[in-house]
Amino acid sequence: MRELEEAIAAVLEGSGNTTGVGTAWDAGGDPIADVNDAIDTFIGQCGIHPSHCVLSDKLLRKLQSNAAIVDRIKHHGNGPAQDARRVTANALSEIWRLNVLVADAPSNVKDSAGEGLAASLTQIWDPTKLGLFLQTPTGDPLGPGLGLTFHFVEDGSSMGPTMEQYREESIRSDVIRGRLDYDVVEINAACAHVLTGVST
């Protein structure tokens, strides 16, 4: 499943549509203004409002102390401004009018070291970036949207990984393995935009 997450991240971040923010959000920048400007840019690219944004859990935690975000949520009647727990994906969704997806550990963490080597952990979704994209609303490859994930079912598998178990007498054990046949296809690169430099 991490390979699928990496493939989707590569399509979004590889769209070529990027804007660098003037000031990082954990250094006094204004994520509300920056994302709203990016939405305007997005609409200028493809003519449609983005449906989703994706950010890492690390970036979300940094937004919990951003003055502009905390102040906006405070004025929504959600409690004291200093309460970082109020800065959630749902709260950001209300501010930006987007479905906010938070890439959280462990699904957002990969180990690039080989088997038997010391772990080298990195985040799949870069915490210095925030991505906007349009999800194809109907799954129609001719409809507007960034891309689609195709899952091959000819081998009898269903959506999501298929788990298999068989006996291997040479090791006197049962072998359990997961199988997932898929492809991620970019449909329209104009339906993506990435803000860079949003955190230090």
The domain that contains 89 carries what CATH number?
A: 3.90.1690.10
The answer as to whether 18 is a domain residue is yes
Q: Which of 38, 31, 84 is closest to 61 using CA atoms?
A: 84
The answer as to whether 84 is a domain residue is yes
CA 76 to CA 186: how far, in whole Å? 37
Of the chain, the percentage scoring pLDDT greater than 90 comes to 42
State residue 61's pLDDT score.
92
Q: What is the pLDDT of residues 45-59, one digit of tens each?
A: 989 999 999 999 999
Are the C-beta atoms of residues 63 and 37 closer than 8 Å to each other?
no
Q: What is the mean pLDDT of residues 147-152?
A: 66
Backbone φ/ψ region at 68: left (φ over 0), alpha (ψ -120 to 50), beta: alpha
The answer as to whether 149 is a domain residue is no
The answer as to whether 101 is a domain residue is yes
Are the C-beta atoms of residues 49 and 35 closer than 8 Å to each other?
no
State residue 47's pLDDT score.
92
DSSP 90-128: HHHHHHHTSEEEEE-TTTTEEE-SPTTSPP-EEESS-TT
Are the C-beta atoms of residues 38 and 105 closer than 8 Å to each other?
no
Higher pLDDT, 18 or 81: 18
Query: Looking at the 3D structure of the chain, how many domains does it have?
Result: 1
State residue 80's pLDDT score.
53
Domain that holds residue 36: 2-137+188-196
The answer as to whether 67 is a domain residue is yes
pTM exceeds 0.85 for this model = no
Tokens of 51: 């449906």
The answer as to whether 179 is a domain residue is no
Q: What is the pLDDT of residues 5-46, one digit of tens each?
A: 787 788 777 778 899 999 999 999 999 999 999 999 999 998
The answer as to whether 133 is a domain residue is yes
Q: Tokens 């920056």 sit at which residue?
A: 34
The answer as to whether 43 is a domain residue is yes
